[in-house]
Amino acid sequence: MVWSETRLTGSGSRVVIGRERSTVVIGGLGARHGSGGLAAMLGQADLDVIAQEAAAQVRAGADVLEVCVSGAGRDETTYLPQVVKAVARSVTVPLCICAKAPEALDAALANCPGKPVAYLVDQQTGPWQDFLAVAARRGAAVIAQGLEPHGVPEGLDERIEVTRRVLREAIAAGVAREDVIVDPVVLPVAEYEGAAAQALRLIAHVAQIDAINMTVRVGSLSSGLPANGDLDHLFMARAVAAGVTCLMVDDVAAARGFALMSDVLLGREGALSRYRDFARETHGAATAQLAF
């Protein structure tokens, strides 16, 4: 089976997500504003602040920007399109638009240049089929979570089947197979001790058999544990080796480095050159020369 390649575009750049491509980093806006995230920025009622943050995340290495106003205490259908428009004016990279309601997604996609990817904030309770219909009509890619209505299935076999079911549902709704990115939903290991191992087995199985693009949200795994950055980064590298092709992160700068290192270890074309450039920009020319 040929591996899916998901092609996203912004107002001035293109990103291709695929197994033999560079690992794509999807950066969340508002990470530097603490637990309030983008909601804290929205509290300032200043779209210019959001636009500046978007530009900073791209400079830090984000290939795609995740835009979500959930929890900001604003009307999503009204405000999400405004934020998307402000961000799209500030950066040229593709966007990942997160929404709770299909009508909010529809309004946001109408303001979004190029071809973005759509993500349903709460797929368990959200109107999944309506969400898919909007994404298909607007020509957006989608991130589909491997969830049942009651949450994440317990057994590996059941999780594999649910992952394939959401893939089939997205295709049936009119989303092209190559435009479906699956999120296996990584549970925190502090609450579910075997969560990481099960997620890695799921990723490896689906990647090998179904050859679709997969993502993980970095940070959820280590919730409630000390030194969570180290655990997240180790999991990130293992997940990329297992078959994850894009990472959803808050700490873009750190994730970019680990994504590049993972690509180098996997022998992906041009990865060493990209890592050298990253090391030079991050640590200075002298450090880069010593390292290489």
**pLDDT of the chain, 292 residues: tens digit per residue:** 688 999 999 999 999 999 989 999 999 885 444 444 555 555 555 788 888 999 999 999 999 999 988 766 678 899 899 999 999 999 999 999 999 999 999 999 999 999 999 998 877 666 899 999 999 999 999 999 988 877 788 889 999 999 999 999 999 999 999 999 999 988 888 888 888 899 999 999 999 899 999 999 988 777 777 766 788 888 999 999 999 999 999 889 888 988 999 999 999 989 999 999 988 887 764 444 444 4
- Token reading at 56: 């900073």
Q: What is the pTM of this model?
A: 0.89
Beta-ladder partners of 183: 145
Domain range annotation of the chain: 6-253
CA 163/CA 185 separation, integer angstroms: 10
CA 68, 175, 220, 277 torsion-angle sign: negative
Among residues 28, 6, 246, the alpha carbon closest in space to that of 139 is found at: 6
CATH no. of 6-253: 3.20.20.20
